[in-house]
A and B are shown apart, each in its own frame.
Chain A
Amino acid sequence: MKKMFKTFAALILIQVAFAGTISLIAQDKAGKAEKVKTMKCWASMTCANCQAKIEKNIAYEKGVKDLVVDLPSKIVTITYRTDKTSPEKLEKAIQKLGFKTETVVEKK
């Protein structure tokens, strides 16, 4: 019983340590300032495969710093370096994968 408890405690400890390390790394990255901008575009995705395809390919486009592909809303959010690429280039890259795209202008 004691051992069981110990095991459980160890489990929690490891998790806290792991999460701590990762968040430190994440913070460190966020600290660096670069000329980055975020764009949103709508892509004609229909399934998880399409999502994977965009994630897989756009991540390797020049200047892409971050990427969120949301399948339910079909919205692709790309954070990019302004000196290396542009929204037009990125949208073209998505079209090249066989998707139709539309630039999203958020109302508000």
Chain B
Amino acid sequence: MKHKIYLLSLLILIPIASMAQLVSGTVFETIESKKSPVPGVNVHWSGSQIGTTTDAQGKFQLFKPDTYSQLVFSFVGYKSDTVSIPGAAAGLEIMLIPGQELAEVRIVQRNPGAHIDRLAPIQTEKITYAELCKAACCNLAESFTTNASVDAYYSNAVTGARQIRLLGLDGIYVQLLTENIPTMRGVASSYGLSFFPGPWMEGIMISKGTASVKNGYESIAGQINVEYLKPNTADKLLLNLFLSNAGRKEGNLATSVKFNDHLSTAVLAHFSDDQQKEDHNGDSFLDEPLYRQYNVLNRWYFSNENIRMHAGVRLLKEDRYSGQMDFDQTQPRDVEHPYGIGINTKRVEGFLKLGYVFNNELNSSFGSINSLSYHDQQSFYGIRNYSGKQFNYYLNLMYQTDIVNSKHTLVSGFSFNLDNYDESLDSLVSGRDERVPGVYSEYSFKPSEHFNVLAGMRLDYHNLYGLMFTPRIHARFDIEGHTHFRLSAGKGYRSPMVIAENNHFLANSRRIILEPSLRQEEAWNFGLNITHYVPIGIQPLAISGEVYRTSFLEQVIVDLDSSVDEVRFSNLDGKSFSNNYQVELTGQFIRGLETKVAFRYTDVRYTFQGDLIEKPLISRYKGLFVASYQTPLKKWQFDLTCQFNGPGRIPSTAANGEMHSMPDSFDAYTIINSQITKYFRTWDLYLGVENLTDFRQMHGVIAGDQPFGDHFDSSLIWGPLHGRKIYVGFRYRIEREEEE
């Protein structure tokens, strides 16, 4: 048996070892400032007879013996020179310069492979397209099921609004970006996550802790950046259809056209619809809202030697209705008729990103981001009316350059953010203008492959809150490439938009009490992550452990504990913090089978009436097991995700009397999702189930039979509201022809 194992590991190792010895690339020369391949160049290992010559396309490949590392290129009319090749290398581009005196061989580019993430100083987790395909992932809120750091939850029982939590902190403390442009802030934050269609996404980057100062002062718990399909790289056509037994129908279309080497465009379109009324938990309220969404983005990309330009326009319209089963939009809205909720959203966005690359030794570049958006939400919650309009303009100008050499890089810039809010809640009308100019600078120091530091600071002036200073630092070092340490520390700020961001509290009988002058939120975040790679299995086993602490200096506390009849928003008086401890193991021991096991313990507390109390409705811990098996030819894929959510606290509802109260805590629960995907050459078919065990939070609504009475409350939600869901989906694509 033992011998068998040895033999097996040998069999696995041999091909890897022999492949690692291959060196390949192309030899070019410059003719009239254009790269032209050079055939017939002699390539040999210095001091040996082992060598080859480049083919008609200037390409070469040869195996690298352990004893030699100097590769010599020689050709008549060019001076021969030597390049040091320490290990396996592919995609080398060798530039031969003619003439005897100038002769020089330069490595223009080396394919970095998969190392980039390992070397980034900011702890970043990437959810790739392949990862998104492991679950239904219809929109951003649903894209984190296989991620241990992010939790998605319902903010209340009736509106279907989904929110995310990172490091135990609510989504408002996570800066949301689309391609580095801040988005879905303020009025858009309550329902914003459903406005990112999953099939449009190319990938999602999650960074924990305060992020780079380039994107502003807002990220406190972290940053989530969504990258959409790009006109120049997307497939010619992608069509996705989705259907679930809960009545959700979705269609997504992405199409791109490349006019020439410089100009390309893409249209991304999304339509979703759910008109199926369901009430499985018998609380007389719809389990999920009825809605219809239209979402279209047209984007353009232009590039030439020096200029890169991205521009786009997006239009969005969503109508969402919910409430009691008998509610009908045509009925008058009063206490005599069933309780209804309506949320009508319109949004327009436009962006222009420009990059100018100076062809100089210092890799200098200039970039600008312009973004405009207008968001309009007209809504009613029973007999309450809320209207929110927000106009936003964002400008970011940045200049990046190396100093002396590529070990030192400096990015400096200016940003300006304008928000114009126009809100009304019943007869209360409020407007607000926020103008924030700011300057920033970020210095990156990379003395070696094993160590780098990113230190940034910014200074912003807020017209309402005054001057803000934001220092942030990230450092990374590794020991021989297999143990990586990352440290981060930094500050973040946020201006609270209480009603807009807590829209879900309108769907209950709690009175909303605002402290007269709510201050700007301010917090420090510190993090440490250690990742160790063990070379066992098909891919190195990654073991990571991390600790993050967010400590608020100023915070708006959402208080559901003072009274069952009120939700109070008040300034923090005392301490408020969130501590997170997480361990994660990711490996592939059997070819095609990737597994992830993670465990996270979250401790979120704030001062309430002099005592530190636990933040309600949050699971104290989360365990995650993800397994994904792909057959060797990648024709079938099986995915399984198990989430183990810990218990937590529920604000006391005892004062409501026995009839209308909930327990003061909730128990641990498990959610299992699974999906099977069959891949064909041009199309995929997937069938999946969400919440396999059909676990639901029963009694999500208090006093649902008297929605206009004193006790109605739909905001005490800690678990899933919808039970088992079965879905099927279809993807069809026409790939882009490779132009060489």
Contact = CB atoms under 8 A, between A and B. Distances in A.
Interface of A: 3-4, 7-8, 10-12, 14-15, 18-19, 22-23, 26, 42, 44, 46, 49-50, 53, 55-57, 59-60, 64-68, 70-75, 77, 97-100, 102, 106-108
Contacts of B590: 19, 22-23, 26
14 contacts: A3-B647, A4-B646, A44-B59, A55-B634, A56-B634, A59-B635, A71-B111, A73-B20, A73-B88, A73-B90, A74-B61, A100-B57, A100-B59, A102-B61
Nearest to A50: B738
Contacts of A49: 233
Contact of B646 (A7, A60, A74, A99): A7
B18 interface: yes
Contacts of B593: 18-19, 22
Nearest to B23: A73
A71 B627 contact: no
Nearest to A55: B634
Interface of B: 15, 18-20, 22, 24, 55, 57, 59, 61, 63, 88, 90-91, 111, 113, 233, 589-591, 593, 595, 597, 599, 601, 621, 623-625, 627, 629, 632-635, 640, 642, 644, 646-647, 668, 679-681, 735, 737-738, 740
Contacts of A50: 738
A15 B595 contact: yes
A44 B625 CA distance: 38
A15 B597 contact: yes
A74 to B, nearest CB: 5
Contacts of A12: 597
Q: Residue among A11, A49, A97, A99 with the most chain B CB within 10 A? A: A11
Given A22-B590, A44-B59, 13 more contacts: A7-B599, A7-B621, A7-B646, A11-B624, A18-B593, A18-B640, A22-B593, A23-B590, A57-B681, A59-B633, A64-B633, A71-B90, A99-B738
A99 B88 CA distance: 21
B117 to A, nearest CB: 13
A3 B88 CA distance: 49
A72 B113 contact: yes
A98 B646 CA distance: 52
Given A11-B597, A11-B644, A42-B24, A74 B633 contact: no
Contacts of A67: 632-634
A44 B90 CA distance: 10
Contacts of A23: 590
A66 B88 CA distance: 24
B737 A98 contact: yes
A14 B111 contact: no
A75 B22 contact: yes
Given A3-B668, A19-B589, A60 B681 contact: yes
Contacts of B24: 42, 73-74
Contact of A19 (B59, B595, B634): B595
A55 B589 CA distance: 21
A70 B589 contact: no
Given A53-B735, A66-B632, A74-B90, A15 B18 contact: no
Given A42-B24, A42-B61, A72-B88, A14 B633 contact: no
A3 B640 CA distance: 22
A10 B669 CA distance: 13
A8 B22 contact: no
B738 A53 contact: yes
A53 B589 CA distance: 25
A57 B593 CA distance: 21
A60 B91 CA distance: 27
A11 B737 CA distance: 44
Contacts of B632: 65-67
A15 B24 CA distance: 40
A107 B22 CA distance: 11
Contacts of B640: 18
B740 A98 contact: yes
Nearest to A49: B233
A75 B113 contact: no
B675 to A, nearest CB: 15
Q: Residue among A23, A44, A77 with the most chain B CB within 10 A? A: A44
Contact of B623 (A8, A59, A74, A99): A8
Nearest to B15: A77
Pairs A-B, 3 closest by C-beta atoms: A59-B633, A98-B738, A73-B22
A12 B629 CA distance: 17
Nearest to A97: B738
Contacts of B90: 71-74
Contacts of A74: 22, 24, 61, 90-91
B113 to A, nearest CB: 5
B738 A14 contact: no
A11 B629 contact: no
A25 B679 CA distance: 20
Contacts of B233: 49
Nearest to B18: A106
Q: Residue among A71, A72, A75 with the most chain B CB within 10 A? A: A72
A66 B20 CA distance: 20
Given A3-B646, A102-B61, A11 B20 contact: no
Contacts of B737: 98
A59 B634 contact: yes
Contacts of A107: 63
A41 to B, nearest CB: 11
Contacts of A22: 590, 593, 629
Contacts of A11: 597, 599, 623-625, 642, 644
Contacts of B625: 11, 14-15
A71 B113 contact: yes
A75 B735 CA distance: 22
A70 B236 CA distance: 26
B544 to A, nearest CB: 16
Contacts of B642: 11, 14
Nearest to B598: A11
A10 B624 CA distance: 11
Nearest to B130: A52
A84 to B, nearest CB: 14
B394 to A, nearest CB: 31
Nearest to A18: B627
Contacts of A44: 57, 59
B543 to A, nearest CB: 14
Contacts of B595: 15, 18-19
B600 to A, nearest CB: 11
Contacts of A59: 633-635
Nearest to A4: B621
B668 A7 contact: yes
Nearest to B644: A7
A108 B633 CA distance: 28
Contacts of A72: 19, 88, 90, 111, 113
A108 B590 CA distance: 28
Contacts of B599: 7-8, 11
A96 B266 CA distance: 26
Q: Residue among A11, A73, A75, A102 with the most chain B CB within 10 A? A: A73
A35 to B, nearest CB: 18
Contacts of B61: 42, 74, 102
B350 to A, nearest CB: 29
A72 B90 CA distance: 6
A43 B503 CA distance: 56
